[in-house]
Amino acid sequence: MNWSAECTAVVPCLNEARAIGPLVRSIRAFISHVIVIDDGSTDDTTKHAREAGAEVVRHDVPRGKGISLRTGWEHARKRNFAWAISLDGDGQHAPEDIPSFFARGERGDASLIVGNRMIDARAMPPVRRFVNRYMSRTLSRAAGQMFPDSQCGFRLVNLDAVARVPLASTHFEIESEQLLAFAAAGEGIAFVPIRVIYRSEQSKIHPLHDTVRWVRWLRRWRSEQGVT
């Protein structure tokens, strides 16, 4: 498969003017087309993304990571791409790991391939490592299959599968919803090891606030599925 032609990168971001330019240029060493979803930034994120060669789709106001990803996937389908690889806009994912996703995709048995940082989990801050392991165990039990790193946003997804398995989450819980929804739909899910790049001063994730919202989301999902 010609991944550079059939896959685009989808990069959701909010106020990442310092990081987005270098990130887009690094991604373009592996993928020719990059779609940046500027989720209502008040800085020069859009300007620097375009200068680096990205196509930018902009929300007028912040709408959340989940909506940004869904916007990006829909836009990629309209551009006739078959696959999309998502990376966070803060530089915490290494574009040099992109070939690992493509190599796994060549096996043809997975429509969702997720980065696994837990191979080197000691490089993660203790609180985030604990929260990730808790969420991953909980989702693994719910899905009946192992998810070693359920919260990683570095993912390669088949866009036909995205159309078959619609998602509704608006914020960071989109990653959890996607895993459960793809598993329930019988879509193949795989994981590939990736390096850990952690810059706490840039992270948009708030461990307490986002964990509480994730627990509420999981309760709603269980209620909708009739799972106790």
Overall average pLDDT of the 176-201 stretch? 88
Query: 3-state DSSP call for residue 91?
Result: coil
Q: How confident is the model at residue 205 (pLDDT cuts 50, 70, 90)?
A: low
Distance, in Å, from the CA atom of 179 to the CA atom of 195, rounded to the nearest integer, reads: 21
Of the candidates 14, 34, 28, 46, the residue with the CA atom closest to the CA atom of residue 75? 34
How does residue 201 score in pLDDT terms, banded at 50, 70 and 90?
A: very low
CB 225 within 8 A of CB 146: no
Nearest Cα residue to 101 out of 121, 93, 73, 180:
93
DSSP 8-class letter at 200: T
Does domain 3-225 fall under CATH 3.90.550.10? My reply is: yes
The percent of residues above 90 in pLDDT, for the chain, comes to: 73
The Cα 82–Cα 204 span in angstroms is 29
Q: Name the token pair of 49.
A: 């993304």
Rounded to an integer, the average pLDDT of 195-212 is 64
pLDDT digits (tens, 9 = 90+) for 122-135: 767 777 788 888 88
By residue count, the chain amounts to 228
Share of the chain above pLDDT 70, in %: 92
Taking alpha carbons only, the member of 106, 171, 120 closest to residue 149 is 120
Predicted local confidence at residue 99, as pLDDT: 97
Read off the pLDDT band of 203 (50, 70, 90).
low
Least confident of 65-69, 113-117, 167-171: 167-171
